[in-house]
Amino acid sequence: MHPLVNIAKDAVELYIREGKMLPVDDERLSPDLRERAGVFVCLKTNGSLRGCIGTFQPTEPTIAHETVRNAISAATCDPRFPIVRPEDLDRIEYTVDVLTPPEPVADMNALDAGRYGVIVQAGGKRGLLLPDIEGVDTVKDQIAIAMQKAGIPRGTPVKLFRFEVKRYT
């Protein structure tokens, strides 16, 4: 298992069982985990989404810290799902996506739903959808879902941004 997946798993288990934050020892981190990036942590049970929370811009000092924070949030703060309980922990599968910085694109032609995640923005509203999501096969679908998540009405002109991810499972 990749170290980030271990960090996510350990963070969720410690928080759910004991209410404690997983400490991150910066000196023991590999150089890539000391960098800063947006991180999404997704939890699944039996292949079905159980929670997914993340940041597209870094908010923590390192990728490892970002992973701890977002893993706990995915387990406890995703409004689509109930809070993870101790008896759920043995069945959870973890995915950690480390995002590249978002870059603006002129139009849909610069996107690819399998390769790029998308951020849509209109006014103060923003929505994000990760790349390579099962059942999301077209850029049109990807943009529509991101707009829906942001509460942006259909037909509203949006600014588009794309990013890539390194996905660890």
Please compute the mean of the pLDDT values over residues 93-111 and round it to a whole number: 97
Domains along the sequence of the chain with CATH: 3-99 (3.30.700.20), 103-164 (3.30.1490.150)
Mean pLDDT of 107-131: 97
The pTM score is 0.94
What are the backbone angles phi and psi of residue 93, rounded to the nearest 5°? -105, 145
**Residue 1: pLDDT over 90:** no
Segment 30-35 mean pLDDT: 95
Angstrom distance (rounded) from CA 128 to CA 54: 10
Provide Rg for the chain, Cα atoms: 16
In the structure, what pLDDT confidence band is assigned to residue 55 with cuts at 50, 70 and 90? Answer: very high
